[in-house]
Amino acid sequence: MLAVEEALAIVLQEAPPLGEEPVDLEDAVGRVLAQDVHGDADRPPFDRAAMDGYALRAEDVRRVPVALEVVDELRAGQWPQRAIEAGEAVRIMTGAVVPGGASAIQQLERTSPVRGGRRVEILAPVKAGANIARRGSEGRAGEVVLSRGRPIDAAAAAVLAATGCVRPLVARRPLVSVLVTGDEVVDAMQAPEPGQVRNSNGPALLALARQAGAVTRFLGVVPDRDDAITAALAVGFASDVLVVSGGVSAGDYDLVEPALIAAGASFFFTQVAIKPGAPLVFGRRGGTLVFGLPGNPVSALVTFELFVRPCLLRMQGARVVTRPRVVVELLGSLSNRSGRTCHLPVRVRLQGERLVAEPVRSMGSADVVAHARANALVVLAADRSQAAAGESAEAVLLGGFLEDDGAPS
């Protein structure tokens, strides 16, 4: 069996770039940038007021209190009509252009209007440069503000808009087809007969693929018959990536591998030293990458997270393709008797200054409810059979850091 790291390295090496396309800014969130974005102007493009108050000359208020003549008022979006001179001040709002001659802004709370005229009393001195965001202090025109390979989130969308990049170049989204196999699997809307289970893998794998930026297509649930599997595979080969759930173990009715071989697919590996999910097929048929995942729900979800998701992100040119990993302190003991790298469900939270992980009670690779209660997977190496409470371990965060919601474990 291949080690997890070796298998992932093969997957990432075989993941082809998908090309680029421009999209409208409102459609760009969730896509991966395929270009460096440069600032089109200094940031800020002018000396800008950092707070409400009065623009003035710092040398005029070294001794206070002192009254200054208010010669103008500036709101954000207005351009100053004149520079200020000795003994003068301008009422200014946050974000407004600082007028020429002004060397500081005194905040409104440290001033008092003088009755009966356009004068203001400055109650405290202020240093030159105070409360002014100088032109270019945040960045200069031409600097890279967003780098190629970054997923576009809300903050990146704000930067794109601020720089006028309203048609960013992004990576093409991979088309992923998902096929579920098994005589025992019925549609989620159907009441299972004795011996049957509802299809949970299909919706879960489609959701994970969409979260990784893919366009998805569900090929349905097919029974464990050569003809049905072969026909569904033929449709799936028209995708960038085909994900098949079930039928990849060594049983008499595990027919996916033979059907893939008959269709002309070649395999890079068919087993990985991982728990859950040792039977794991990765191959290629023409321009389509093929993953054969185990049928047990948790095994399917974990192997998708560790192998398929990084593949999809690499195809889109993302710089970071794996989930964040953190070191946690275990609040309970965990065991690994598999002789493989084991991924165990936990809930990670911040407890005081410690990052702790509480094991989630699970009955195995079919217990998808336990998996749904976890927000991370503790990774125990093949040679680490036991991890006691209080010991440290590495954990893979699933979808980011979550606070404990009090769910039973």
pLDDT tens-digit profile of 182-205? 999 999 999 999 999 999 999 999
Q: What is the pLDDT of residues 58-88, one digit of tens each?
A: 999 999 999 999 999 999 999 999 999 999 9
Q: Give the rounded distance of the alpha carbon of 306 from its chain centre.
A: 15
Whole-angstrom distance, CA of residue 56 vs CA of residue 368: 65
Instruction: State the pLDDT confidence band at 402, using cuts at 50, 70 and 90.
Output: low
CATH number of 48-133: 2.170.190.11
Q: For the chain, which residues make up each domain, given as ranges? A: 4-16+173-315, 21-40+143-171, 48-133, 325-397
Confidence (pLDDT) at 400: 59
Q: Which helix (H) or strand (E) holds 285?
A: strand 279-285
Low-confidence winner among 19-23, 169-173, 350-354 (lowest mean pLDDT) = 350-354
Q: Tell me the mean pLDDT in the region 250-268.
A: 89
Confidence (pLDDT) at 137: 96
Whole-angstrom distance, CA of residue 32 vs CA of residue 313: 8
Q: Give the fold, CATH level 3, of 21-40+143-171.
A: Molybdopterin biosynthesis moea protein, domain 2 (3.90.105)
Residue 404 in this model has a pLDDT that exceeds 80: no
The residues that bridge with 379 in the sheet, in sequence order, are 343, 394
Is 47 in contact with 132 (CB distance < 8 Å)? yes
| C-alpha distances out from residue 212 to 164, 230, 263, 318, 328, Å | 27, 27, 28, 10, 26
Q: Tell me the mean pLDDT in the region 176-183.
A: 96
Instruction: State the pLDDT confidence band at 253, using cuts at 50, 70 and 90.
Output: low
CATH of 325-397 among 3.20.20.140, 3.40.50.300, 3.30.930.10, 2.40.340.10: 2.40.340.10
Q: Tell me the mean pLDDT in the region 199-217.
A: 97
| Burial of 314 from C-beta contacts in 10 A (0-12 / 13-18 / 19+) | buried
3-state secondary structure of 12: helix
Query: Which tokens sit at 337?
Result: 């008797």
Q: Output the CA angle 196-199-201, nearest 5 degrees.
A: 130
243 CB-near residues (< 8 Å, 6+ apart): 176, 177, 178, 179, 205, 209, 291, 293, 304, 308
Is 62 in contact with 106 (CB distance < 8 Å)? no
Confidence (pLDDT) at 288: 98
Q: Which helix (H) or strand (E) holds 330?
A: strand 325-330
Mean predicted lDDT score pLDDT of the chain: 95
Pairing of strands 144-146, 53-56: unpaired
Cis peptide before 22 (omega within 30 of 0): no
Q: Tell me the mean pLDDT in the region 38-48.
A: 97
Confidence (pLDDT) at 403: 59
Confidence (pLDDT) at 407: 47
Q: What is the pLDDT of residues 133-142, one digit of tens each?
A: 999 999 999 9
Amino acid, single-letter form, for residue 134: R
Q: Which helix (H) or strand (E) holds 6?
A: helix 4-14
Q: Give the fold, CATH level 3, of 4-16+173-315.
A: Molybdenum Cofactor Biosythetic Enzyme; Chain A (3.40.980)
Confidence (pLDDT) at 235: 98
Residue 409 in this model has a pLDDT that exceeds 60: no
Residue percentage of the chain with pLDDT more than 90 = 92
Q: Tell me the mean pLDDT in the region 117-126.
A: 94
The residues that bridge with 216 in the sheet, in sequence order, are 176
Whole-angstrom distance, CA of residue 374 vs CA of residue 404: 10
Query: Which tokens sit at 210?
Result: 């969409």
Residue 158 in this model has a pLDDT that exceeds 70: yes
Q: Give the rounded distance of the alpha carbon of 84 from its chain centre.
A: 49
Residue percentage of the chain with pLDDT more than 70 = 97
Confidence (pLDDT) at 88: 98
| C-alpha distances out from residue 222 to 187, 196, 239, Å | 11, 14, 18
Give φ, ψ of 313 to 5 degrees: -70, -40
Q: Output the CA angle 306-313-357, nearest 5 degrees.
A: 40
